[in-house]
Amino acid sequence: MKKRGILLIVILTTLFSTQCYATWSIIAVDRKTGEIGIVGASCTFDVSGIASIEPEKGAIVVQAASNYFARMKGVSLMESNASALEILNAMKAKRFEPERQQYGVILLKEGTSPLVYSGTEIADWNGEMVGDDFAVMGNILLGEQVVKKAFDAFNQNRDKSLAERLMLALKAGEEAGGDKRCETQYARSAFIMVYKPLDGAILKLAVQGIKKGGEPAVTLLNQQFDFWRKEEKDKY
């Protein structure tokens, strides 16, 4: 991979949205490598607008009613080296309608833990599981097993790269039932973002706009990810 400020790989469209009713996502850091990553999937047209990575700092997800301005407030504070709790509390300001949101904040800094907040007005099933260096959260899911299976898949693959662990976790969520609105399609959109400090790049892959009843978005994203990994190996 060439050294650039940002490496942008986008499948189908750009990674931006101001409103996105999201379902399950994972935020994670690797404090040994300095990598920061996010994956997510939903039965909506485009889920990718829920996520922001601040290189060398951390990551933020704002999903459910996904308030763009809450996320940008969190990013601004993260740039200023605010604590995870300070960031979360700021995003919970009344003007951002926090009870309609599901927030996730994670910092790369040693000795910190991710924080998640699920508002009282988001749809069931909703919930989260939080580890030392990652968190899984979701709403409008088939059930608790979606979050649990994703959490277990990430933890059980510690020998793999952060990007691989994130994809395995997202795939496990799909296999556990995913977004209950999509039935056996599980999701219509999905994405992965991983900041890689060695080359100062952010990998971004996304699949969105899949028609209702079409191919599962996470499966399609996994295929794109496998192709990207093969391309990267062939470079060296």
Q: Residue 132 has which token pair?
A: 């030392």
Kindly state whether residue 2 falls inside one of the protein's structural domains. no
What single string gives the DSSP state of each residue in 45-96? S--GGGEEEETTTEEEEEEET--HHHHHHHHHHHHTT--HHHHHHHHT-GGG
The domain total for the chain is 1
Q: What is the CATH number of the domain that holds 136?
A: 3.60.20.10
Kindly state whether residue 61 falls inside one of the protein's structural domains. yes
Kindly state whether residue 175 falls inside one of the protein's structural domains. yes
State the residue range of the domain holding 65: 24-234
For position 200, what pLDDT does the model report?
83
Q: Which helix (H) or strand (E) holds 224?
A: helix 217-234
Q: Residue 72 has which token pair?
A: 């940008």
Q: Is 130 helix (H, G, I), strand (E, B) or coil?
A: strand
For position 125, what pLDDT does the model report?
94
Kindly state whether residue 12 falls inside one of the protein's structural domains. no
Q: Which helix (H) or strand (E) holds 194?
A: strand 189-196
Q: Sheet with 115-118: list strands edge to edge.
A: 51-54, 58-64, 101-107, 115-118
* 70/81 Cα distance (integer angstroms): 17
The pair phi, psi for residue 56, each rounded to 5°, is 70, 0
Q: Residue 19 has which token pair?
A: 């409103």
Question: pLDDT averaged over consecutive 10-residue blocks of the chain (236 residues)?
Answer: 36 36 88 97 92 96 94 97 98 96 97 96 94 96 96 97 97 95 94 92 93 95 94 66
Kindly state whether residue 121 falls inside one of the protein's structural domains. yes
| Dihedral sign computed on CA atoms, order 220, 173, 130, 15 | positive
Kindly state whether residue 5 falls inside one of the protein's structural domains. no
